Each structure stands twice: as C-alpha cells, then as structure tokens.
Structure 1
Amino acid sequence: MSNMTDNFVITFLQRFDEHPFEVTLHGKTYLIGNGTPAFRVRLKEDISAKELLTSTSLALGEAYMKGDLEIEGDLFEALDHFLGQMGKFSTDHKKLKKLIFSSQSKKNQEKEVTSHYDIGNEFYSLWLDDTMSYSCGYFKNEEDTLYDAQCNKVERILKKLDLKKDMTLLDIGCGWGYLLIRAAKEYGVRGVGITLSKEQKKKFDERIEEEGLTGMVSAELMDYRDLESWGKTFDRVVSVGMLEHVGREHYDLFVKNVEAVLNPGGLCLLHFISALKEHPGDPWIKKYIFPGGVIPSLREMINILSEHRFYTLDVESLRRHYYKTLRHWDKNFNDHRSKIEESMGTEFVRMWDLYLNACAATFHNGIIDLHQILVSKGVNNQLPMTRWY
C-alpha cells in the first residue's frame, strides 16, 4: 500500500483526507489520509484530470453510474464520510454555465419538473409509502415506520396551519395529493392542488374519486406564476418540496404569487430543502436528478417574505428527519432493485441508489437542511398564543 504516486486521480483524491480510505487502481492500492480505512474504492480505469477539475461531482458520479467506480461495503457509510468534504470539490462554473444556470422560462421549468416526477407512478409506488409522499417525514417515535412518519408530517403541517371547517386551502406543488385529501377529511376544508406533473394529477384525480371528495378537492395543471391572474383566493396556502424547483431569481415572484392568492391574515407554510448559505447547486444532481433545481437558504427566504409583509411565526428544522426518511426510501428502493433494474436499466438503478444515499449523507452532515416556515399575511391576532402543535 502506498500514498506516493504520479497518477492525477490519486493525487487529486488526497485532498479528501479527513477520513482515511483506500483506492485501488491499476492493481495498486493507495491509502488516502491516515489510519484505518473507513471505506474502500475500486477504480476500473482513470478519471481524466479535465473531468475532475471541471466538476468533481459529475466525474465521480458518472464513474459510479457506469460501474467504473465501485464502493466496497456500505454505500451510505462511504458517502457519509466523503461528502462532508464537498467544499473541496472542483466546479468550473463557466464551463458548466448552461447546466448550473438553466433557463427559468415556464416551458423549460415544466420540462425540468416533469423529467423527474413523470418517470411513472408505478416506479414511485415501489419505494414510497402508501401515502405516496415524496418529501421529508416526521419521526415522532424511534419505532415509527415510513408511513407513520409521513402521516405525522402531514398532521404537523395541518395543525400548524390552524385549519377550521370550510376554510379554503391551496397546495402549490401538491404531488399525489395526500395532504389535501387528509385536510378535507379531517378538517372539512375545501382544497385545490396545483402541479406541473400529468402523472401526479392523474393519480390525484383517481384518489379524489376513491375518497368521495369530488367537489371538495380538485387538482389543476398549473404553473405557480399563473396564480396571480387566476382570480381565486384562499384562507391557507401550503407548499411542500416545491420551492426547490423555482430558481433563485424567481423566489420573489413565487412569494408575490402566494401573496396574491392568500386572504389578509391568512397563513402560509413553506416546507423546503434549505442551505446555510446561497449556492448555485450540485452539477451531478442538476444533470441527472433535478434539472434546474436550486436550494434556497433560510435567510434569503425569510428576507423575501418580510419584503411582502409576511410575518414569520414559526421556523423548524427537520434535517435529521429527512436523513432518516431517505434511509427508508433507499431500503425500499433496494428491496425492489431487480424489478426496477429490469425496466429502467443498471445505470438508472445505480444513479438513483447514489442519489438517495448521497442526499442522506448530505443531510446527515448538515450540508443541506429542511425547514418549515410558517408565516401570516399581515398581522394575525386570532392564533393561539402558544405553539398549538
């Protein structure tokens, strides 16, 4: 074993020395860092210097997808040790400009969103829980299942919104509709959900009919930018896991549209993946998982909300809950791995397994967070004096 080499890949990887690991390349094994290796990497061939320097994330991610890079042992454990050092990644923003800063036009954003969410309802149903919730759960108890956690999350959101019978609720980015269905059944509210995904709307429409909620709940194919001209207003607005698709230059526009449809004194809850500071995003995630996705910082969202006279009532971090949610998703995904691989191919399966584990690792390391912000449009003096949840 050695740590001396003139090979660029090995030299480049030596910057990631906080946790020792082994790399095997061309029959030689190299130790990165000092101590007992936390994980082992096998490289079937070199990765070019140009690729690593243009985007470390893309270079390593694509090598893993293609099977040119293998991790011995637990993928999550390896990523959990490695991705805490993402600050050392190289990213050439000029060369990756079109990928990192993609068009924010309606047409392009619809294309980007549907590329992820219209993979197929059958695919998502294999590894999500029965609520079909594709966002962070809330684990009240150690023994909670994924289904329990997703029901807990929705219950928590609905309680924060302080719903009353016959109130109206808009869900921006409603997914497969579980939150609105539960709001209608438990609180007697009338709800509308908007989405850009035809697959999600189709499933949501089926659920509305199955639950006997026709006339109480409806789903619309709509861009959030059309809310202001829609002519409808609501007592409550919620958005779960959609803000990440808006794009940094449009956060103000998003809030402006929320303001337009929310009644005075009304409450809005935003549930979104967040970051400590503003960052353009990861190239691999943007290319293969969430085209155009950008993670807002908590501080910029609160600042923008304040500019529109939204009063911040409550802020909660669910970072560790998302880590746990992702671990459940990945287990479910791998329980159905052979079936998914049969229909989607080996590279797709390796890509999604990497995505789910990498996200779990970045939440675990605090590189990204999950926040719920509750705000009121103007002053609301009618709410309970204490945290009512």
Structure 2
Amino acid sequence: MDIEKSFIKSLIKNFKGPSFKVRFWDGEETLVGDSPAAFTLKLNEPLKMKDMTLSTTLAFGEAYMNKTFEIDGDLYFALNSILYNITHFNFDFKGLPKIFHKSSKSKQKENIASHYDIGNDFYSLWLDETLSYSCGYFKNENDSLYDAQMNKIHHILKKLNLKEGDTLLDIGCGWGALLIEATKKYKVKGVGITLSEEQVKKFNERINEEHLENFLEVKLMNYLDLEKLDKNFDAVVSVGMLEHVGRDHYPDFFKAVSSVLKDGGTFLLHYISSLIESPGDPWLKKYIFPGGVIPTLREIISLSAENNYHVLDVENLRLHYRNTLLYWYSNFNDNIEIINKKFDEKFIRMWQLYLCSCAAVFNNGICDLHQILLTKGINNSLPLTRDYMYKD
C-alpha cells in the first residue's frame, strides 16, 4: 500500500461528524463514518509525505489551490466537518521557519500591502457598501451584511461613549467607514492610520465626498510611529488590526496607544483571538496573512494590566464572524464571472478556501472574536451599567 495513502487513512480514521468519502488517485474509495457520504474528498495525485507531516492545513491547502485536491459537495459544509477534527491534524512549527519569521517594522507594510492592496475594485465586489472588512454584528436573523456592519460600527461607537467634540483615533482604519460614521453621528474629529495605500486613497475620496475635510484625516502610518503625531485623543479604536502586529510587538502596541490616548480615555480593541498561544496556521500565514499572529484573550488582558488599563467589558462575537464570512463567500461567488476576468483559478480557489475555512474555524470555536473596552487609568464618569451600549 502507498505510504501516502496509508498516512491519510490513519489521519481520518477517527474523524467524528458527518460521514464522507475519500477517493484516492488510483480510484480506490474509502468511507469515513457509517451513514451515506455527505461529501467526497478527491485526491487526484499523492501528496508528499513530508508536507503532510509538517502541516496538514498547508499540505491540503496548497493541494486544493492546485486542484490536486478537490471537494465534491458544499465547500463550507465539508470544511466545517473536517475542521471539527482539527485535533488530529499535524503542525510541526519548527519545520516551517520561513513562514514564522518575526514581523519587523519594515516587513509589516509589505505584509499589509500583499493582502489589502490587491485593489479596491476587488474588495468592493464582495464586501458591503461600507467596505468593512471585519466581523459584523447581527442583531436580527434577517440582517443584511450592510445592516450587520453598520450595527457593528454603532455598537463600537456606543461602547466608547463618545460626545460631540471628542477626538477619535482609528488604528488600522481600513476604508474609513467607522470614522465617517463617528463624525456624522457624534460630530467628533478623527484620524485614521493604515499601511495600505489603496485604503488611504479610497478613504480620502470618501472624506471629500462627505465634505468632512475639517473633521477627518487619514495617514499612511505605522502604529509604531504614533508618538510622532503629537496629538492626544479622547478615544482610540482598533478593529481587526492587532492580528497583524506580531506577538513580540504587543508591548510596543500598547505603548504606542498610551502615547496618544488621554488619561481616562477609552480604548476599544476588536480582534480575532485564539484559545491558546500558537504561531498560527501555516497555510493562512503563507498565502493570506503573512506575518499574522492571533493573540489570546489572556495575553491581552495581562498586557492591559501591565500598561495601567482597566477592563470594563469583554464580548465574544465568534458566531457573528461565521455569519459575516459566509456572506462574503456568497458575494464572492455571486461575482465570480467578474473575478474570473481579473485573477487566475489558483487565486480564486485560494480565496474561496480562505473564506469558507475561516467561517468553519469560527463555527468550531478554533478562534474567537473579542471586543474589549478599556480605559487608560481610572475613568469614573462612564455609566455605572452597560445599558448605554445597547440603547438605540
């Protein structure tokens, strides 16, 4: 028997969940489970034994991109079923040193550009009208993606307890939807920073379209340079940016925030979190988010205390991110004819795998999405209860 085939059979023999079929490159088929197969995994060629030993997700992810590995059936359902069994996967982080390099300041801009500067026209095809590329907040089952993203923005802004005339900094501001809404609703003055040139371009266009030049500005800036702004803010928000910082730079991140946040100021941190400290998934780090690392909740809570931040609220939006990703995946496929004209099949399969596998990751609790509300030092002026966060 082929050693590669034997390895795969050994990997999947204890899988739980829906039954599925595996069809090997020589035509042999095996059923995992006792009921009819809900989907079929097709291996068109043998995978290298070394690759499968180093990282299950990297080996099968690359094989899927190259059509060496295919899935007959609903992609999300299949990936959700497979990732339910992630404890059986192989991860040899020491054998993958190039993927897990530390993220230097100069490397951070390159890493961000590789993902976020693909093109505003690409992201506009499958994100909502706000171009929000982070977890939405579904208050109702029938919320559209736009509804969920606006819900998320208002949920964050209410937590910050903003007042007219306040100043707000958005670290990793994306295309600017949060700051624009903050200015329109609360009449605050804001600054957004990002390392994506495409995002700066679009954000500036939006500022001009909304006639908010006297209220908002966006800067192409690394968070490590925040002290150079020579400004102080009443509140700071960071949505989906901490994942790009790198574990060795978390203390630098808090130091940078402290350099611009007023004493007693509010800080809302919205980020993907992991249950335990890990270097991250090899496939995602190589192809989707180079340099990305997912913090744990305990790391951030500990660093908060060390930097004199008081934690007021912690909320987990894990299933909201599953729903968000499935919306993105549906929108992506709805525009597949346009995307086909812009990118090759390998790129498209990579993005479909990324969106569906991440939805499955959140559904299975492999990752969480946390919002943490903090104050720099003591702030006794905030409401005594959290009711204000949920009032319309």
TM-score above 0.5, yes or no: yes
User: Equivalent residue for 2:311?
Assistant: 312
Which stretches in structure 2 are left out of the alignment for 5+ residues?
none
5 Å-filtered alignment, 1:1-389, equals 7-15=5-13, 17-19=15-17, 20-25=19-24, 26-100=26-100, 102-387=101-386, 388-389=388-389
**Segment of structure 1 superposing worse, 195-204 or 48-57:** 48-57
The whole-number CA distance in structure 2 between the counterparts of 1:132 and 1:154 is 12
**Segment of structure 1 superposing worse, 249-258 or 234-243:** 249-258
Residues 294 and 16 of structure 1, relative CA distance in 2, 3 Å threshold: farther
2:360 counterpart SS class:
helix
2:115 counterpart SS class:
helix
The whole-number CA distance in structure 1 between the counterparts of 2:259 and 2:311 is 18
The whole-number CA distance in structure 1 between the counterparts of 2:14 and 2:178 is 42
The whole-number CA distance in structure 1 between the counterparts of 2:89 and 2:385 is 44
Residues 327 and 227 of structure 1, relative CA distance in 2, 3 Å threshold: same
Aligned residue pairs total: 385
Per-residue CA shift, 1:144-188, capped at 9, x if unaligned? 100000000000000000000110000000000000000011100
1:332 counterpart SS class:
helix
Please report the RMSD computed on the Cα atoms of aligned residues, expressed in angstroms. Answer: 1.3
Q: Retained in 2: the 8 A contact 1:13–1:32?
A: no
Give the deviation of 1:9 after TM superposition: 4.5
Q: Retained in 2: the 8 A contact 1:15–1:88?
A: no
The whole-number CA distance in structure 1 between the counterparts of 2:337 and 2:95 is 37
1:213 counterpart SS class:
coil
Q: Retained in 2: the 8 A contact 1:265–1:378?
A: yes
Which stretches in structure 1 are left out of the alignment for 5+ residues?
none
2:30 counterpart SS class:
strand
1:170 counterpart SS class:
strand
Q: What TM-score does the superposition give when structure 1 sets the normalisation length?
A: 0.97
Per-residue CA shift, 1:325-372, capped at 9, x if unaligned? 001000000001121122111000000000000000000000001000
The whole-number CA distance in structure 2 between the counterparts of 1:130 and 1:259 is 33
Q: Retained in 1: the 8 A contact 2:11–2:88?
A: no
Per-residue CA shift, 1:236-286, capped at 9, x if unaligned? 000000000000111111011111110011000000001111111000000
Q: Retained in 2: the 8 A contact 1:274–1:369?
A: yes
Q: Retained in 1: the 8 A contact 2:120–2:198?
A: yes
1:316 counterpart SS class:
strand
Q: Retained in 2: the 8 A contact 1:16–1:33?
A: no
The whole-number CA distance in structure 1 between the counterparts of 2:161 and 2:59 is 47
Give the deviation of 1:38 after TM superposition: 3.4
The whole-number CA distance in structure 2 between the counterparts of 1:121 and 1:374 is 30
Instruction: Please list every run of at least 4 consecutive aligned residues from structure 1 whose deviation after the TM superposition is greater than 6 angstroms.
Output: none
1:339 counterpart SS class:
helix
Q: Retained in 2: the 8 A contact 1:240–1:272?
A: yes
The whole-number CA distance in structure 2 between the counterparts of 1:334 and 1:32 is 29
Give the deviation of 1:18 after TM superposition: 1.4
Counterpart amino acid of residue 243 in structure 2 = E
Q: Taking every aligned residue pair, what percent have the same amino acid on both sides?
A: 56
1:218 counterpart SS class:
strand
The whole-number CA distance in structure 2 between the counterparts of 1:300 and 1:103 is 18
2:153 counterpart SS class:
helix
Per-residue CA shift, 1:20-65, capped at 9, x if unaligned? 3211111111123444333211111111111100111111001111
The whole-number CA distance in structure 2 between the counterparts of 1:144 and 1:172 is 27
**Segment of structure 1 superposing worse, 57-66 or 20-29:** 20-29
1:338 counterpart SS class:
helix
Give the deviation of 1:15 after TM superposition: 4.6
Q: What TM-score does the superposition give when structure 2 sets the normalisation length?
A: 0.96
Q: Retained in 2: the 8 A contact 1:9–1:48?
A: no
The whole-number CA distance in structure 2 between the counterparts of 1:16 and 1:171 is 46
Give the deviation of 1:93 after TM superposition: 1.7
Counterpart amino acid of residue 71 in structure 2 = I
Q: Retained in 2: the 8 A contact 1:23–1:29?
A: yes
2:332 counterpart SS class:
helix
**Segment of structure 1 superposing worse, 315-324 or 31-40:** 31-40
Counterpart amino acid of residue 308 in structure 2 = R
